[in-house]
Chain A
Amino acid sequence: MKRIGDGAATRLGLIALAVIMTTLFLVIPLAGIFYQAFAEGLAPFWQNLTSNFTREAIGLTLLIALLTVPVNLIFGIFLAWLVTRFTFPGRRILQTLIDIPFAVSPVVAGLLYLLLYGRTGWLGSILSEHDVQLMFAWPGMVLVTIFVTCPFVARELIPLMQAQGSAEEEAGVTLGASGWTLFRRITLPNIRWALVYGVILTNARAIGEFGAVSVISGSIRGETINLPLQVELLYQDYNTVGAFTSAALLAALAIVTLMIKALLEWHTHRREETA
């Protein structure tokens, strides 16, 4: 079959252009991260990677991701179930509300939390009377990361669950299945790859969030510096190798994320073809 753009010259030309542009625009920066990290050899890289400062930043980054991902996973499943399996007034508004974290600048996210939980905020002033301090501390960073990443799981699940419809689950109900059985035996197997993908995206963003947490963090060394904030701090201190060491660590995680995503896509694609 003849198709538009299938002439050999057009085809090769466009592929070449795409490869060149991607190399210039994406591959060179990616390679640049690792080049800068190893610019002074392996020893400084290793020294930076194993320093206390980096270890503490890694710890905080993992803590934030570890708390954020389960919360948003559970919320995402409930939200997707709610908006795809039931119709009720306000459903549209709910879906638009959930998109807010996507649409606003991360600095606005940080600001909203600072205004609420900071000393001048109405909730913050009540909490500080009880000696609870969320801002400029890790709990505030977790909260704002939950805000920033809350749409990811739901956004992956909703289109899929909408497309699949609820016929299978309705059949399950007629056969007397309980809610939990229904979810575990029918819904979960249908959505698991989208769920994994949603978790990966949430995790990647939770690890890499910068703008929102920078407002909340207050940059207390050893306490509120996660990896992206450490990258900024070292870079501003003209410690290029140090900054790029942590950047390389984050970039390696990004590559792993992309690889898992590609694997998942390949897997679902193959399943669709054999089905």
Chain B
Amino acid sequence: MSTRSARVLPGFSLSLGVTLLFVSLILLLPMTSLIGQLSTLSWSQYWAAITDPRLIASYKVTLLAALAASLFNALFGLLMAWVLARYTFPGKRILDALMDLPFALPTAVAGITLATLYSRNGAVGSLLDPLGIEIAYTWLGIALAMAFTSVPFVVRTVQPVLEDLPGHADEAALTLGASNLYAFRRVILPHIWPAIVTGTGLSFARSLGEFGAVIFIAGNMPYRTEVVSLMMATRLEEYDYAGAAAIASLVMLVSLLLLLAINLWQGRFYRRLHGGRH
């Protein structure tokens, strides 16, 4: 690819101008206000704002629930990607379309629905209650809501990779007498695990920031079931803008680092995959 031939096409200055204007107004300008707000805090105030014990409890709950949710999605997503990529069966198209439901359904709708279903007298909660399993108003409920809203990530990153895998490697392994599980582990898994990691990472990042789906089922009990997003919203409601900004800066840093790690990881993987061709 040469940079010279690239400029043959028209519209460079126009598209650059429109893009920069938009990015500055919509993305960068609001961030200046965050920096402005943070600059009103001294280091010790900032440190105090992000290490408040109630907030630290919310970090723990959010991380634990997001970890559980993304691990669940890694397994569920792998199962769904496999079934949708490998088999044909009646109703497959409906199953495939359903995988995108969590993205299409507003998070608040998912939130009140899960909270209603899994509450102690809800349709599912009442079945689990005699077994001693409580979902609503515990970290499990938070994990459930996070898992629901981030279902598509693993399915949709693994599914296309599985579909593109040629069948002859499978055949060779099986012809040589490998068991299904062994062949899967040695032939399929090396191809798809980068996609699994990427999808799980995205699911984790989304779960960390989830708000709408979580707040209804969480019960929002201080020190026990408050998530970080809720803590920010609470600070804002108390007009503690500086406190909210301090938490937001930390949240943004963590999500950007995660995003960067996922992008780097993906780039390395694709370079290795297509490395021989260029």
Interface of B is mostly: helix
CA distance A85 to B15 in the complex (A): 10
The interface residues of chain B lying within 8 Å CB-to-CB of A182 are 9-10
Task: Choose one: B5, B167, B173, B205; the contact of A103 (CB below 8 Å).
Answer: B205
The one of A4, A99, A215 in contact with B236, judged by C-beta atoms closer than 8 angstroms, is: A215
Instruction: Tell me whether B102 and A26 are in contact (CB under 8 A).
Output: yes
Which of B99, B108, B113, B241 neighbours the largest number of chain A CB atoms within 10 Å of its CB? B108
Q: Is A116 an interface residue (CB 8 A)?
A: yes
Answer whether A179 and B101 are a contact pair too, CB < 8 Å, given A29-B117, A100-B27, A104-B252.
no
A181 to B154, CA, bound (A): 40
How far, in whole Å, are A29 and B27 apart by their CA atoms in the complex? 35
Expressed in whole angstroms, the Cα–Cα distance for A105 and B259 within the complex equals 13
- The residue in chain A whose Cβ has the minimal distance to the Cβ of B228 is A105
CB distance from A97 to the nearest CB of B (A): 6
Interface string of A151-192 (1 = CB under 8 A from B): 000000000000000100110010000110011000000000
Number of interface residues of A (CB under 8 A): 102
CB distance from B262 to the nearest CB of A (A): 9
Tell me the A56-115 residues at the B interface (CB within 8 Å). Answer: 74-75, 78-79, 81-82, 85-88, 94, 96-108, 110-115
Least CB distance, A179 to chain B, in whole angstroms? 4
Known A-B contacts A3-B86, A22-B80, A111-B244; the reply to A105 vs B184 at CB < 8 A is no
From A6, A78, A110, name the one whose CB has the most chain B CB atoms within 10 angstroms: A78
Residues of B within 8 A of A81 (CB): 11, 15
Residues of A within 8 A of B19 (CB): 75, 78-79, 82, 94
The answer to whether A112 touches B34 (Cβ under 8 A) is yes
CA distance A254 to B32 in the complex (A): 35
Are A261 and B97 in touch, CB under 8 angstroms? yes
Q: Which stretch, B43-51, B87-95, B129-137, touches the partner chain A?
A: B87-95
Is B209 on the interface with A (CB-CB < 8 A)?
yes
Minimum distance in angstroms from B77 CB to a CB of chain A = 11
A86 CB, nearest partner CB in chain B, Å:
5
Task: Point out residues on A near B: beta carbons under 8 Å.
Answer: 1-7, 10-11, 14-15, 17-19, 21-22, 25-30, 32-33, 36, 74-75, 78-79, 81-82, 85-88, 94, 96-108, 110-116, 118, 120-123, 143, 146-147, 150, 166, 169-170, 173, 178-179, 182-183, 201, 204, 207-211, 214-215, 227-229, 231-232, 235, 240, 243-244, 247, 250-251, 254-255, 257-259, 261-262, 266
